[in-house]
Amino acid sequence: MTPRAPVIDARFGPRVKFDEPMSRHTSWHVGGPADVFFTPSDRTDLLTFLEGLPAGTPLFWLGLGSNLLVRDGGIRGVVIDTTGLDRLESIDDTHLYAEAGVPCARIARRCIGLQLGPAEFFAGIPGCLGGALFMNAGAFGGETWPRVRAVDVCDARGRERRRDAREFSWSYRRVVPPVPGEFFLGAVLEFERRPGLTDEGLREMIARRKETQPIGEWSCGSTFTNPPGNHAAKLIESAGLKGTRIGDVMVSPKHANFLVNVDAASAADVERLVALIQQEVKRKYDVDLTPEFRTVGESA
């Protein structure tokens, strides 16, 4: 245990790890250690854990680790692994309840089984619902927040409440909460009845994704948001940057808006390549590319 780690109640036992390498928990497979890494067994376990933490303990909430770059120095404080929050259930004919750790692809499959839509786009989001709520993630022309009707949140002390979706403002890959410092526990999602819906459309989307994106390789998903009226991949490719490599991170030859870890990349490698891409696209096209992923932690 590092000296910076808060004291953790022994009752949480094996669900708590100290100095846990974040490279084991991010889709880029990079990142230094977290002081404390906690995987709650369910929501009650999580809220009890939060209630017992020293006031002011830094918290970072993690799903599947996509759209995330953890720097090589790691994360101070406590990382909350939300994958144990995996409840997904029907409320009525058009509403579902999903907890933050439910993979978005699972929501898409459940909706097809229930003849609900539009939900196929969730299959193109490589993460959990919590992350999708945080950044209004989307794919194939669909976005998360148009489906949201209410969210359950908690604060750093483990106090839970429900908020109406109308309390939040959102836009492309951006969500502004009414109160800073609250974390998503789950959401009520509304869809429409789609009798006769099959999984053909979903299978087509997945097949198209496999053909055009480096699925199965270590990446964060899309690296940059699309500038208004343009596409980040098109700009990067036109700048001649496909295949460009720094250390062990490379611009994918398959899709220029994906950076892949080909072996043992560091977060510093990723940041240098991101900066190079931004510099070249700005120089050639006077367009500022904005990272779609979130960067957290300390430099080594």
C-alpha to C-alpha distance for 38 and 59, rounded to whole angstroms: 10
Secondary-structure class of domain 88-193 per CATH:
alpha beta
Tell me: the pLDDT tens digits for 48-99? 999 999 999 999 999 999 999 999 999 999 999 999 999 999 999 999 999 9
Query: What is the pairing mode between strands 259-261 and 249-251?
Result: antiparallel
Least confident among 4-13, 62-71, 279-288: 4-13
Strands 160-164 and 169-171: unpaired
The model's pLDDT over 289-300, given as tens digits with 9 standing for 90+, comes to 999 999 999 998
Does position 243 have pLDDT exceeding 60, yes or no? Answer: yes
* CATH 3.90.78.10 domain span(s) along the chain: 214-296
pLDDT digits (tens, 9 = 90+) for 141-180: 899 999 999 999 999 999 999 999 999 999 999 999 999 9
Buried b (16+ CB within 10 A) or exposed e, 76-106: bbbbbbbbbbbebeeeeeebbbbbbbbbbbb
Instruction: Compute, in degrees rounded to 10, the torsion defined by CA atoms 60, 62, 67, 73.
Output: 50
- pTM for the model stands at 0.90
Q: Which CATH number fits domain 10-84: 3.30.43.10, 3.40.50.1370, 3.30.70.990, 3.30.300.130?
A: 3.30.43.10
Residues comprising the chain, all counted = 300
Instruction: Say yes or no to pLDDT of 121 above 80.
Output: yes
The residues assigned a catalytic role are 173, 222, 292
The Cα–Cα gap between 196 and 81 comes to: 37
Q: Please, which pLDDT band fits residue 2 given cuts at 50, 70 and 90?
A: very low
pLDDT at 199 over 90: no
pLDDT band at residue 4, thresholds of 50, 70 and 90? low
Start-end ranges of CATH 3.30.465.10 in the chain? 88-193
Provide, rounded to the nearest whole percent, the portion of the chain with pLDDT above 90. Answer: 85
User: Class assignment of domain 214-296?
Assistant: alpha beta
Please compute the mean of the pLDDT values over residues 197-214 and round it to a whole number. Answer: 80
Could you give the C-alpha distances from 168 to 137, 151, 158, 184, 289, in angstroms and in order? 15, 10, 21, 12, 26
Judged against a pLDDT cut of 70, whether residue 271 lies above it is answered with yes
Segments of the chain assigned to CATH 3.30.43.10 = 10-84
Mean pLDDT of 220-238: 96
Task: Work out the mean pLDDT of the chain and round it to a whole number.
Answer: 94
The answer to whether residues 232 and 289 touch, using CB atoms and an 8 Å cutoff, is yes
The per-residue pLDDT for 1 is 41
Q: Which two tokens stand for residue 108?
A: 């898409």
Quick check: 3 pLDDT over 70?
no
